[in-house]
Structure 1
Amino acid sequence: MIASRPPAVAGQFYSDDADVLNRQMRSWLPLQPTTEKGARRPRGLIVPHAGYLYSGATAAKAFRHLQGHNYRRIFLLGPPHRVPVEGIALPHWQQFSTPLGEVPLDTECIEKLARLGDVRLRNTPHAREHCLEVQLPFLQWLMPGVPVVPMLVGDIAPQALAELLTNFVEEEDLLLISTDLSHFHPLAEAQQRDNATVAKILRLEAQIDPNEACGASPLNGALLFARERGYKVSLLAQTTSAEAGGDTERVVGYAAFALYH
């Protein structure tokens, strides 16, 4: 495998200055655990992936629920934005880089997944993709050194993805789904659409449309997997780009959830 994927969107979606990034993480995620002793351990998170200005604080409200808990590895799933993907694209690297350093990949698991019919080793879809990269500084801050399995999920049936997750995601692993909600509607319409999508997610309905969530493909498979495992979903935060000073006529929606057994 080629050694490392360099950061593609540092300086655009989030700071390329390690000191600035550390201060931001410290403000969102104080290093001391904020969870009470005996607090439920999340089995998964659903988080947005826009620039930190717009959705970073929303994502942090989910990531803070990981504090005080340990995981063996992290399955990180998101939608391809730049290069079309049939099935699932896995990277042919050993690590991903951010301004905070290196994130190890679980290359053994990646090689096993690559033997499946719906999975391909392809660096090209990952090279400029932002949806997975923006989650890495949170993971580096909270769980440094924990290996990641980055999966760009394109055209695949929810049942096929759910079966894959059932075969590979174990109790000591974390499932992390990267998705935004609706895109480019006026504020009132965006909020109405997003409220309906949030209600579907809370019911674990694996019938989300790409117009409702850009990460519909990984999200649907994960929701079906969660339902089959008996998980429950909690809504942790919901907002829009307009609330961060964005255009109220072309609004993007964001929400953060936790999956619990």
Structure 2
Amino acid sequence: MSNRNRRSPAVAGVFYPSKKDELYDLIGLSFKDGRFGPGEIPPDKSQKTKKIFGIVSPHAGYIYSGAVAANAYYKISTNRFNSVIMIGPNHYGIGPGLATVKSGEWETPLGLVGIDSDLANSISEDAEILDFDELAHSRDHCLEVQLPFLQYTKTTQFKIAPIIMIMQDIETALKLGDSIARVTRTRTNEVMLIASSDFTHYESNEDAHRKDSELIDAILSLDVSKFYDTLERLNVTACGFGAIAAVMISVKALGATRGQLLRYATSGDVRGDTTSVVGYASIIFT
């Protein structure tokens, strides 16, 4: 495959190490972190494998949110899936309202991951609001930072359908979420959904915990109307709210009945500066 169809890492060396061995070691430390992470290297040792339809995972630098993110990846380490639909916010406002990628590969220091062209095409055709635009994905970190965790956790090959959102209103989330559910329900290959989002941005640690706790309650209930109401009422600055909503809609349609919060922490909890923090949550839908 030509390099023209390959997305090179945009934030390697910034959000996570650019060297393979250093990245692998840091992800391992995130899993072994007993305070904010699961405390163990995957696979999940609980021996209580249950169907997980999707997750919510943060996308900050690994030294801030890596251990929190590791919790959800630990739980899905024993789930079978061949494809991953990754949805996140478009931080740069580049490209159309919703953008995916038609073909190619995404590169990280841990290797290459192929695009699930059939899945991306099917969602785009069904939703009619999802366009193809590689440039929209070129600089953004929200989906890229999920890939090394998947590569570390998965022992079998998988492909991705990356979706990035400028438009995150409830109507757009409903259209996208419903389309994803329709498309994935008819596929023989199993699919994992990932909503990439941080929560409250740059407020006090106390306010972040208070606001995010209420918003997370709405997420766990799979009540999208309550989720948007809480988001607006408390002015929660969760950057990937539309991605979370779309995944909530999809997993509920596919059979999920609840969300489970595995870990919540702020950058202040992790690094010690509690004056202006960002919130991170690791959630699974079962």
| Fold shared per TM-score above 0.5 | yes
Name 1:219's counterpart in structure 2.
Answer: 244
Segments of 5+ residues of structure 2 without an aligned counterpart are 32-39
For residue 202 of structure 1, the aligned residue among 213, 220, 223 is: 220
Name 1:173's counterpart in structure 2.
Answer: 191
**C-alpha RMSD of matched pairs (Å):** 2.1
Deviations 1:137-172 (A, max 9, x none): 011112252001111023152221221111122482
The 2-side partners of 1:216 and 1:54 are apart by 20
Moved more, 42-51 or 17-26: 17-26
For residue 160 of structure 1, the aligned residue among 169, 172, 175 is: 175
Name 2:35's counterpart in structure 1.
Answer: none
Is this contact kept in 1: 2:42–2:74, CA < 8 A? Answer: no
Q: TM-score, normalised by structure 2?
A: 0.84
- Partner SS for 1:60: helix
Q: CA deviation at 1:27?
A: 3.4
Q: Answer yes or no: is 1:149 the counterpart of 2:179.
A: no
Name 2:282's counterpart in structure 1.
Answer: 256
Question: Higher helix share goes to which structure?
Answer: 2
Residue identity (%): 30
Q: Answer yes or no: is 1:242 the counterpart of 2:257.
A: no
Number of residues of Structure 1 aligned to a counterpart in Structure 2:
260
Q: CA deviation at 1:222?
A: 1.7
Deviations 1:183-234 (A, max 9, x none): 1111111111111111111111213338422111111122123333441111
1:80-159 correspondence runs (5 A): 80-84=90-94, 86-115=96-125, 116-143=127-154, 144-155=156-167, 157=171, 158-159=173-174
Provide runs of 4+ in structure 1 moved above 6 Å: none
The 2-side partners of 1:32 and 1:49 are apart by 20
Name 2:8's counterpart in structure 1.
Answer: 6
Moved more, 152-161 or 193-202: 152-161
The 1-side partners of 2:75 and 2:110 are apart by 21
The 2-side partners of 1:236 and 1:9 are apart by 26
Letter in 1 for 2:159: P
Q: TM-score, normalised by structure 1?
A: 0.92
Moved more, 19-28 or 55-64: 19-28
Deviations 1:90-119 (A, max 9, x none): 124411000111111102222333334201
Q: Answer yes or no: is 1:33 the counterpart of 2:51.
A: no
Is this contact kept in 2: 1:85–1:152, CA < 8 A? Answer: no
Is this contact kept in 2: 1:77–1:153, CA < 8 A? Answer: yes
Name 2:60's counterpart in structure 1.
Answer: 50
Segments of 5+ residues of structure 1 without an aligned counterpart are none
Q: CA deviation at 1:43?
A: 1.3
Letter in 1 for 2:250: F
The 1-side partners of 2:71 and 2:209 are apart by 19
